[in-house]
Structure 1
Amino acid sequence: MKRFVLSTLVAAFATASLAETPMSAEEFDRYSLGKTFYYGSMGQAYGVEQYFDGRRVRWSFLDGQCADGHWYERDDMICFEYDVDPNLGPQCWTFFAGSGGLVARFQGDPAETTLYEVESAAEPMTCLGPEVGV
């Protein structure tokens, strides 16, 4: 029941937020700088991202493995590029400021992957070190 209520609220929140004006790079930077956001999608945990000076970021799918990168504005979207795979290319999102936090819609996704801010923290995220063999 709790999951159903959460999913219903998230869907309503995301739909309402997507009708708003996309955030500019300046608005996104002002909102995110120095923070760590935990994101959800479709009622499930999705990932965590930490935002640093100079538009630098650190991302994890909540598995302890982190990817460093940076973001920039392109065509009213916020695009991210990460160091883990240079062939991946930019991951571009349209961000909106909703009443409960950030809402992001992925560019070029027919299913319109939508992420929403579940929690904001001042503490840095946890990243495990590189795998070390014997």
Structure 2
Amino acid sequence: MRALALVLMLLPGATLAEGDPPMTAEAFERFVEGRTMDTHNRSGRYGVETFLPGRRAIWRDAEQCLEGRWRPQGDLICFDYQGIDLPYCWTYHDRGGWLMAWLDGDRATEPIMLYPAEDVVTCEGYFGV
């Protein structure tokens, strides 16, 4: 499935469909709450995020582990992480079991893909790399 997603990203206009509205906050919440999602770009997996009840989230990658909350802002889903001044805002699009997202909703940029993962992320014992 991930290979198919990468192929679709490389097709001209494949990510620019006008009939592909972003998920609403409610749909996003139903999809992610209680789940952990691996986050990929064209280079591969670069982070993982657990979505907790109450619109809370824990992001972890090789450089940091951040706790925060997400909130809707128009068509965007914005993440406010502790210790980070500016929010990270994305549009999310349901791909039937996984999500595709664009930073600030800008489809001219490279999207990320989120796939369900098995583990729950915590910052307990995190030392970074």
Same fold (TM over 0.5): yes
Picking from 115, 123, 128, the partner of 2:119 is 123
- Rg (Cα) greater in structure: 1
Distance 2:107 2:99 in 1: 21
Distance 2:18 2:44 in 1: 19
In structure 1, the partner of 2:99 is 102
In structure 2, the partner of 1:73 is 72
* Secondary structure of the structure 2 residue equivalent to 1:15: coil
For the Cα contact (< 8 Å) 2:36–2:118, is it kept in 1?
yes
How many angstroms does 1:20 deviate by?
1.0
How many angstroms does 1:7 deviate by?
3.4
For the Cα contact (< 8 Å) 2:90–2:105, is it kept in 1?
no
**What TM-score does the superposition give when structure 1 sets the normalisation length?**
0.75
Amino acid at match of 2:103: F
How many angstroms does 1:83 deviate by?
0.4
**What percentage of aligned pairs have identical amino acids?**
34
Closer/same/farther in 2, CA of residues 31 and 6 from structure 1, 3 Å limit? closer
Unaligned runs of 5+ in 2: none
What is the root-mean-square deviation in Å for CA atoms of aligned residues? 2.9
How many angstroms does 1:108 deviate by?
6.9
Distance 2:18 2:45 in 1: 20
Unaligned runs of 5+ in 1: none
| Paired positions, count | 124
Amino acid at match of 2:49: E
Closer/same/farther in 2, CA of residues 64 and 75 from structure 1, 3 Å limit? same
Runs of 4+ residues over 4 Å off in structure 1: 16-19, 108-111
> Which one has the bigger helix percentage?
1
What whole-Å deviation, never above 9, does each CA across 1:107-134 have from its counterpart, x for those lacking one? 17685231112x3134312545255xxx
In structure 1, the partner of 2:25 is 25
**What TM-score does the superposition give when structure 2 sets the normalisation length?**
0.78
